[in-house]
Amino acid sequence: MYPTEETREKALLVGVHFPYEEKWEKVDSLEELQNLSKTAGVVVVEKLLQNLQRPNPRSFIGKGKADELGAISSSLGVNTIIFDEELSPSQVANLQSITGEKVIDRTELILDIFAQHAHTKGAQIEVELTQLLYRLPRLTGKGVVLSRLGGGIGTRGPGETKLETDRRRIRARIRTLKKSLKDIEKAKMVQSRRREGMRRIAIVGYTNAGKTSVMNAITKAGLKTDDQLFSTLDATTRVFTSGDRKKYLITDTVGFIRRLPHGIVSSFHSTLEEAVIADLRLHVVDVSHPYVEFQISAGNEILEALGVEKKPSIYVFNKIDLAQDEVGYLRRRFPNSVFTSAVNGMGIDELREMIEGFYKN
């Protein structure tokens, strides 16, 4: 039984704009936060963008602003406030005390989505480990607050019962998860050695850029695609044969997103491993996105964090059927790239030829 709009969480989204930041960036980031919230199953009631000179160390936005958020939440029937920033444990506790509502930040929301979308054992372990490492310093008093404010986003994954135990038991659980993850990585290493000498390709890029659709277009795999953020969390590998009659291994990896904390990138090493060891990366970009180059930069930052920013890659500008006006500029800006519409097959033959050409050279 699926939750109705009446039973789903209702959220107020809060973005903060500082004088040294571009306002359009914060507006777009708040729009992305709304899409993330919808992916998590939340009803977004209202969005607010606050102008601030500097963060308040106690409550990030200051007590007066927090009082206003509490009043707005009460009048709109909101039960969750989601900040488009990373908050400290004390800031979360103070904001919840002032507003009387559950408060989570952008990172907590992303981790909640990961918890919903992790299906393989390895991905589930990575999600739980990352959540525990992130929540451990935020544990003080949180169990009481969560009991009062209810469950929902920010409480999935390990579950409230695990999070409300003492720190010693949580640290023991972290050690167990790390050991389990090492065992899985050892098994993957054995599998990886069996694949040595094979042509290996990784599909990378911003979440919802159409990576799985590109994978389907190349391989005819028929993988499920969804128009939502982080629909793919578990890496999926398929074999395809190109026109040169050679076999290729191609892997669809978890999507990137801006301002993804470094701790998440390092914790998801196993899931992102194929992006590191592949011979070639297909960096898929949604050409229809209004800030397409910003998405490219965000993707490149993740590749840099993985240490593969200088390794061979091909930009695949996808969804050209939705953004013909941008194609000419991007062709001039990125000459050694390919332009595709994975849903109708445009540019896929050219992409296959570029892949073959890479291995020939």
Q: Which residues are annotated as a binding site for Mg(2+)?
A: 212, 232
Closest by CA position to 251, among listed 280, 208, 226, 285: 280
In degrees, rounded to 5, the angle at the alpha carbon of residue 229 between the alpha carbons of residues 225 and 231 is: 40
In degrees, rounded to 5, the angle at the alpha carbon of residue 163 between the alpha carbons of residues 134 and 119 is: 70
Burial of 207 (0-12, 13-18, 19+ CB in 10 A): buried
CA–CA dist 226, 255 (Å, integer): 13
In degrees, rounded to 5, the angle at the alpha carbon of residue 329 between the alpha carbons of residues 324 and 332 is: 125
Q: Is 44:38 a contact under the CB 8 Å cutoff?
A: yes
Which residues 6+ apart lie within 8 Å of 7 measured at CB?
A: none
Q: Is 201:215 a contact under the CB 8 Å cutoff?
A: no
Q: Is 210:318 a contact under the CB 8 Å cutoff?
A: yes
152 DSSP assignment: S
* Maximum pairwise Cα distance, the chain: 67
Q: Is 215:252 a contact under the CB 8 Å cutoff?
A: yes
Which residues participate in the annotated binding site for GTP? 205-212, 230-234, 252-255, 318-321
Helical residues (DSSP H) of the chain, grouped into ranges = 23-39, 63-76, 89-99, 106-117, 121-135, 142-149, 160-163, 167-194, 211-219, 262-267, 269-277, 292-305, 324-333, 348-360
Which residues 6+ apart lie within 8 Å of 95 measured at CB?
A: 59, 60, 61, 66, 69, 81, 87, 103
CA–CA dist 290, 124 (Å, integer): 33
